[in-house]
Each structure stands twice: as structure tokens, then as C-alpha cells.
């Protein structure tokens, strides 16, 4: 049935939460921060989620995102750390965070052998490529599409147009996107007219009004679909 499989990177194949925690702790330590890192991280997760949503909705640029999230974080916590320098260090550490989720490598090997297999990610190009280069899964993809490189982010239809044109695939009925985000992966796929598979590893309630074609809780569940 399917010929082209699009798959998200962060919190679908890569454990972004672990990478984020590692990067934030290391960057704060480099500025001699002695407070409660867990409290700072809790605030950061809320701020970062909101600002990436702004990016998806075209309310902020990727360049502004890099520093604005830390402006908000430091203002909330009364910190005087230089934002631009902190952002550089944070992204440097984040680039090292190539932690894969359970079954990610075996599932990539399986899908790569059966389909035109494309990684599609909203992310900062230096970070995403560095993490991929450090991983064991890079060689499984026919193409890698990073929003920061093409100027469009999921769920923008232009992101999907670019990807389909890149792989010379025109049949939406034989295309499936797999991802953890309802707002970018699922909304983008549904609006574009392709089938969707929501990776809901935390069993959260879907109150978005969106209806993915499939829902899975582990990557190995893909074997029953594909």
C-alpha cells in the first residue's frame, strides 16, 4: 500500500528529552550555575514548547527562536547569563545528544529495506546533522529534510511539497508520515492529504480534534502496520 514513509526525528527516533536535559545541565554548569537545574529545566520545557509552536505557526523566525527562549527563561528565573553565548553552548552540547529511543535502529533498518524512507524534522540544521552523524541510523534514509535548511517547517504544506518533489513522489495515497507531534506531524500530514501515524509513547489524551490514521505507543507497533 505505502511506498513513501516520512518519519520525524525528535521523540520519534531520538530521545530529545534526554538530549535536552544533557545540554541544559552542561551549559548551565559551564556558567557556574549552582541553583536547582530541575526547576530551570521545568520552566525551559514550557517555554521551549510554546516558542516552537510559535515557529510552526509562523510567529517567530528560527534565528529569533535560538535566543528568545533563553531570554524568557533567564528573565523568569532572574539569571544574568549572557543569552547569545549561552545559546551557542547549549546548541553545542545538544549537538552531542544522539540518544536513540528503544527499537529505533531496528525499525529504521526494517523500513529502509521496504520503502522509500525519508527523515523529516523541524530542527536547527547544525544540531540535527551532528546528532545524525553520531548515530547508527543515518545510513538508513534515502533523504533527510531539515526545516532550517529548506525554509519551511511542518505543518506548512510547502514543507511536504518540497519533500515530495525531492524524492520524485506524487502519489499522496501511498505516503505515510510517522511522528510524535499532533501539531506539526499529524496536522501537517492530515492537511496535506496523506495518511498519518501518531507515535503516542506517553499515552496522552488527544484533544486536538485531529484524527490520525493510526496510533502507536511503541516503535515496534509499526510492524503491524507496515
Listed residue (90, 92, 110) closest to 13, CA to CA: 110
d(CA 38, CA 34): 12
Active site includes 133? no
d(CA 112, CA 104): 12
Active-site annotation holder among 10, 148, 156, 195: 10
Active site includes 54? no
Active-site annotation holder among 8, 180, 185, 195: 8
d(CA 140, CA 224): 20
Q: Beginning with the edge strand found earlier in the chain, give each strand of the sheet holding 4-7 in spatial order.
A: 143-146, 116-121, 4-7, 175-179, 195-199, 214-216
| Residues identified as active-site | 8, 10
Amino acid at each position: 500500500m505505502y511506498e513513501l514513509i516520512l518519519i520525524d526525528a525528535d521523540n520519534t527516533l531520538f530521545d530529545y528529552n534526554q538530549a535536552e536535559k544533557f545540554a541544559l545541565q552542561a551549559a548551565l554548569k559551564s556558567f557556574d550555575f549552582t541553583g536547582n537545574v530541575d526547576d530551570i529545566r521545568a520552566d525551559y520545557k514550557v517555554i521551549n514548547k510554546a516558542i516552537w509552536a510559535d515557529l510552526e505557526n509562523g510567529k517567530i523566525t528560527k534565528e529569533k527562536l535560538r535566543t528568545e527562549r533563553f531570554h524568557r527563561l533567564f528573565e523568569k528565573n532572574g539569571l544574568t547569563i549572557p543569552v547569545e553565548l549561552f545559546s551557542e553552548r547549549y546548541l553545542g552540547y545538544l549537538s552531542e545528544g544522539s540518544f536513540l529511543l528503544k527499537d529505533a535502529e531496528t525499525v529504521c533498518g526494517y523500513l529502509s529495506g521496504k520503502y522509500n524512507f525519508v527523515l523529516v524534522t523541524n530542527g536547527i540544521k547544525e544540531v540535527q546533522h551532528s546528532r545524525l552523524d553520531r548515530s547508527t541510523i543515518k545510513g538508513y534514509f534515502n533523504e533527510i529534510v531539515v526545516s532550517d535548511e529548506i525554509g519551511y517547517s511542518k505543518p506548512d504544506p510547502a514543507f511536504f511539497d518540497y519533500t515530495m518533489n525531492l524524492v520524485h513522489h506524487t502519489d499522496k495515497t501511498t505516503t505515510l508520515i510517522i511522528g510524535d507531534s499532533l501539531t506539526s506531524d499529524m496536522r501537517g500530514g492530515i492537511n496535506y492529504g496523506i495518511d498519518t501515524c501518531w507515535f503516542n509513547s506517553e499515552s496522552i489524551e488527544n484533544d486536538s480534534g485531529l484524527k490520525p490514521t493510526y496510533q502507536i505507543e511503541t516503535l515496534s507497533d509499526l510492524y503491524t502496520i507496515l
